[in-house]
Amino acid sequence: MNPHLGGGPEPAEVKDPWRVVAGPAIAVVDTMNAPHSPLSHFPIVFIYSGFCAPGRDGNSNMSTILLTGASGVVGGALLPRLRGHRVIALTRRRAVSGVSLRGDVSAPGLGLGGAEHRGLLGEVDTVVHCAAVTDFGVGAERTNEVNVLGTERILEFTAAAGARLVYLSTAFVTREREAADAASPLAYVASKIAAEEQVRAAGLPTAIVRPSVVIGDSVTGALAPIQGFYAFLRSVLRDQVRGVVPCGPGDRVDFVPSDVVAGALAALVDLAATGEFWLTSGEHAPTAQRLFELAEHAAARGGRRLAPVRLASTRTARRLAGAARPGGAAGDLHGRLAELLGLAVMFDGAAPFPTSLGTIQGGPPAPSTESVEAAFLAALDYISREHVRPVRGPRPPAPRAALAGRTPVAPG
């Protein structure tokens, strides 16, 4: 097995038996010379890139973590925050910085060779399961394969390793009825509900973590690739969203930045916490009306003036979409509404989610209206800068509606 080597900062001194055998920028630890390592029976190297450290044989405050989904939005933000732990990332396609093993969460033995699998069982004491299909457009079969069967395989591994589990679920497990109304998000939500039931039935020491819509970094707004909520915001800032938007003006749209989710997960790992944790904006989630006001403000700063839109409840929007016919403006309306309904229906008149932010020791603070709006503005600025063609000529003044009553807080 050849691990995928990734770069990292220049490491501090690593003492035997975890000896440095390569490079000033990458310290490669040869487990063949670590006599107490259960992995010493087969050649695997671990990369010290600032977050790897001895596991069960070393400092009791350090865990050996198997991380799935490390190349995703949340896993990628979490990986550098696990400093002080030894991290082994299980990836299906793309290798990540640090120790990266190719595998498949839905395959027997996680898609690993027998020696690799047995070695990991003796090393890992914490599993952080972030891998999932989150795209509403993926069919139910593939969604269940990864989200349900994959979680079953992870539970089998966790139990055999005698490890504890941090499971990344979704806040939308409480909105199955709303998902059924729109159909498109139902497979995803149903798969997460089924996976949570498996996790609870397993009886393992587990933290179930439920984020709402995950957006980019709270400071930079960065998120790659553009998908879901960001794809919609890109269309808004390009002035491609007109007419009816299927979201009531008073509906609260809950989202949480990726770095906030990652910070909470890292704190839960450090605490060896168990229970259920909600990573949401809660009562501070902005209304759809407020989001469009902020979008108008961001567009004006970029020299654009957005066309007016009508915010309507998903029921009203569904009637309009049903009345539309393919072809012409009506056909465009039908396609746009069908695409947006999948996400918007999840917020249709629903009560705010609970939130655990601010209650997790060492984790992110509780959300506030200012911090939530700042993160949203950071997202808008990132999308405007990276994905919207700049407008030449004089810039129009910022719409008054965006600034009515309060001034948006600039990110950073």
Residue positions counted in the chain: 412
Report which residue type is found at 241: V
What local confidence, expressed as pLDDT, does residue 72 receive? Answer: 92
Beta carbons within 8 Å of 96's beta carbon, 6+ residues apart: 4, 6, 70, 71, 75, 76, 79, 89
Higher pLDDT, 15 or 345: 345
More confident residue, 186 or 376: 376
Query: Can you tell me the distance from the alpha carbon of 122 to that of 356, in angstroms, rounded to the nearest whole number?
Result: 33
At 146, list the tokens.
């990864």
Phi/psi of residue 287, each to 5°? Answer: -75, 160
Nearest-CA neighbor of 199 among 152, 245, 233?
152
Confidence of residue 30 (pLDDT cuts 50, 70, 90): very low
What's the pLDDT at 157? 98
Q: Of 239-248, 329-338, 358-367, which one has max mean pLDDT?
A: 358-367
pLDDT per residue over 95-137, tens digit each?
Answer: 788 888 999 999 999 999 999 999 999 999 999 999 999 887 7
Identify which of 208, 11, 1, 195 has the alpha carbon closest to the alpha carbon of residue 98: 11
Cβ distance 149 to 131 under 8 Å?
A: no
- This prediction's pTM: 0.79
pLDDT of residue 22 exceeding 70, the answer is no
- Kindly report the average pLDDT of the chain as a whole number: 79
Cβ partners under 8 Å of residue 133, min gap 6: 142, 143, 146, 147, 188, 191
What is the model's pLDDT at position 169?
A: 98
- Looking at residue 5, what is its pLDDT? 30
Average of per-residue pLDDT across 366-373: 98
Give the residue from 322, 306, 326, 304 showing the smallest Cα distance to 314: 322
Distance separating alpha carbons of residues 385 and 399, to the nearest angstrom: 20
Say if CB 357 and CB 260 are below 8 A apart: yes
Does 291 score more than 90 pLDDT?
yes
pLDDT at 333 over 90: no
